[in-house]
Amino acid sequence: MYHTWRRSFARCSTPIALTIGNFDGVHLGHQAILRRLKQVAKNLDIPACVMTFEPHPREFFTPDHAPVRLTYLREKLLMLNQLGVDYTHTYRFTKSFAKITAEQFISQILAQQLAVKWLLVGDDFRFGAGRKGDFSMLQAHSIQHGFEVEAMPSILIGGKRVSSTSIRQALADSDLTTAQRYLGRPYSLTGRVIKGEQLGREIGFPTANIAIHRHRPKLTGIFAVAVHGAVDTSPTTVLPAVASLGVRPTVYENGQLLLEVHLFDFKQNIYGKQLQVDFLYKLRDEEKFSDLATLTEKIKLDVDQAKKFFLTQPIDASRLCNAS
């Protein structure tokens, strides 16, 4: 896959099949769109391409009220790559870009710059200044500009629409089962291992610490997790672990959100490594204990409970999406 930042209006040399969206989470609805995109691109013998935006338009217009992200740009691009997209065109969403009218978007970007031959959008797709463009407008201009356009209906599971919003709500409710059902894979966080205060090591449970961006779904607690990217000699190896996602109230009054991962029987130095942590099962909520000794005893129980979980549900790496 090729990732391209788009800033100018230089024309692409090859016609493309294109879909447009934020693709936050790259959930089952997005995956259905991508399957249809690749099918048509293959039939037409042209590249399958995605147009997305950075930042998310709602982050640009209403930063204080924008939805939290399920995936950040790097994660999203890696997932699109895994799903077989040929090119991802990421447009910087700026004040000038927001002023482009729907008609200009069609003629200047879709037709002139990207040479779109076939276009697929969601059934609720809106575009252009003031969100005045819709599927009907695309249809009306498609013949003039020489491309075909198709709308993709929403994907329903159990009669409910799969959406990034529904996944955020599931995570806020600690409903990992629903989130996984809509994503088509476990919910995951990725990040680089940073040096901590070695407290876990001191109490017998060394952890890989990953700082978490504050604009993440409101998911906290203690979890059984699967970890990608920890083993140099076998990069596809997925390891079982127990993880704490929270603010460590036993140790700090106003702690920063941190992901702490304890890999079972693991002794390698992994500082600086980029890990993907898949959340498989919630063990309990985060708690504040009276002292470190009580916390340590609770961690022992968490580790035992997590190991029992993996005995009944072994890790199947083929079912996990490795975006590390």
pLDDT in tens, 228-285: 999 876 767 899 999 999 887 677 666 688 899 999 999 888 999 999 999 999 999 9
pLDDT tens track of the chain, all 324 residues?
566 555 444 567 799 999 999 999 999 999 999 999 999 999 999 999 999 999 888 888 888 888 899 998 989 999 999 999 999 999 999 999 999 999 999 999 999 999 999 999 988 899 999 999 999 999 999 999 999 999 999 999 999 999 999 999 999 999 999 999 999 999 999 999 998 776 667 777 889 999 887 677 789 999 999 999 998 767 678 999 999 998 876 776 666 888 999 999 998 889 999 999 999 999 999 988 878 888 889 999 999 999 999 999 988 765 565 444
- Contact (Cβ atoms closer than 8 angstroms) between residue 171 and residue 220: no
Q: Is residue 163 part of a domain?
A: no
Does the residue 105 lie in any domain? yes
Residues 202 and 153 in one domain: no
Q: Domains in the chain: how many in total?
A: 2
Global pTM exceeds 0.85? yes
Residues 152 and 191 in one domain: no
Name residues whose C-beta falls within 8 Å of residue 175's C-beta, 6 or more positions apart in sequence. Answer: none
Q: What is the CATH number of the domain that holds 122?
A: 3.40.50.620
Question: Containing domain of residue 195, as a range?
Answer: 186-319
Q: Does 28 fall in a domain? A: yes
Contact 117, 44 (CB under 8 A): yes
> Model confidence over 295-305: pLDDT tens digits?
889 999 999 99
Whether 164 maps to a domain, the answer reads no
Is beta strand 208-211 parallel, antiparallel or unpaired with respect to 87-92? Answer: unpaired
Kind of pairing between the strands at 87-92 and 2-6: parallel
Long-range contacts of 111-114 (CB under 8 A, 24+ apart): 111/145, 111/146, 111/147, 112/9, 112/11, 113/6, 113/8, 113/9, 113/10, 113/11, 113/12, 114/12, 114/16, 114/18, 114/49, 114/51, 114/89
| Domain match, 143 and 21 both | yes
Q: How many residues does the chain have?
A: 324
Beta bridge mates, 55: none
**266 within a domain of the structure (yes/no):** yes
CA atoms within 13 A on the CB side of 125: 27
Distance CA 65, CA 17 (A): 33
How far apart are the C-alpha atoms of 22 and 57, rounded to whole Å?
9
CA–CA separation, 124 and 214 (whole Å): 29
